[in-house]
Chains A and B, each alone.
Chain A
Amino acid sequence: MWILHFIPDSILLMAIYGLLMVGGAAVIAGLFLDFIPMIYLWKGPLLIVGVLSLGAGAYFYGGYGVEQEWRARTAELEKKAADAEKKSQVVRKQIQTKIVTKVKIVKEQVAANQEKIVEHQVEINAGCRLSDAAVNAYNELTKNKIVEGVHIHE
């Protein structure tokens, strides 16, 4: 009950118990104390007010209970959400560290391999040079384009 958010709990609970007590007292008075002339005169209105107060008190008491349950549930969910956020941060840092470490390894290996290639370039090249068509075809492949003007001889 969002309307109950605006009233402090203690006042709310006192008001609800007050309504229940007033209602209960009015009903009891209307039913069992009608031998007193003053009450006998007001029996009808007293019973109506008593029943209405009891009804309203029961309604708000139920609403208050539900409100407390929801507040507890909200607090529980807030705690879980905060824990999840912390865990999520930890996972994020772990993955970030893992990526940085592994990317560094990949780059180091690429650099090492390139150095080895330069070191052994005479053996690798063996006097072989790439034609224009080969370079063009290769560059088209790097752009994921269809290679034009290259004929494969069988």
Chain B
Amino acid sequence: MNKLVLPVLLLVSACTTVPVTSKFPAAPESLLEPAQNLEPLDPNKRELSDLLENVAENYGRYHILQLKYQSWQDWYNQQKKIFEEVK
């Protein structure tokens, strides 16, 4: 047992820690907002124009989600590139 003390001390003394930490990058606030549901049609609104208005609203929501989805991909690709530069 006593013979092990010196080798263990030498081995432990040779250990090196590298104290470099990097923060996980924060995503843009807009991308963290919850997605909106599609807007249903008011049952009292029976005109075709009401339907089209509702469709316009829902298409708008889709386009916003599409934009946010593309932005997530863009954000991820750029962060990945930055992360890979730190080596």
Contact surface of A with B, Cβ cutoff 8 Å: 1-3, 59, 63, 66-67, 70, 73-74, 77-78, 80-81, 83-85, 87-88, 91-93, 95-96, 98-100, 102-103, 106-107, 109-110, 113-114, 117-118, 120-121, 124-126, 128-130, 132, 135, 138-139, 142-143
- Contact partner of A118 among B14, B46, B53, CB < 8 A? B53
The smallest beta-carbon distance between B37 and chain A, in angstroms, is: 8
**A84-B85, A91-B78 are contacts. A110–B57 as well, Cβ < 8 Å?**
yes
Closest chain A residue to B20 by CB distance? A77
Interface size class of B (residues with CB under 8 A): 35 or more
The smallest beta-carbon distance between A56 and chain B, in angstroms, is: 10
Contact surface of B with A, Cβ cutoff 8 Å: 10, 12-23, 25-31, 37-41, 43, 46-54, 56-60, 63-64, 67-68, 71, 74-75, 78-79, 82-83, 85-87
Q: Are A99's CB and B31's CB within 8 A?
A: yes
CA of A89 to CA of B29, assembled, Å: 12
Q: Are B79's CB and A91's CB within 8 A?
A: yes
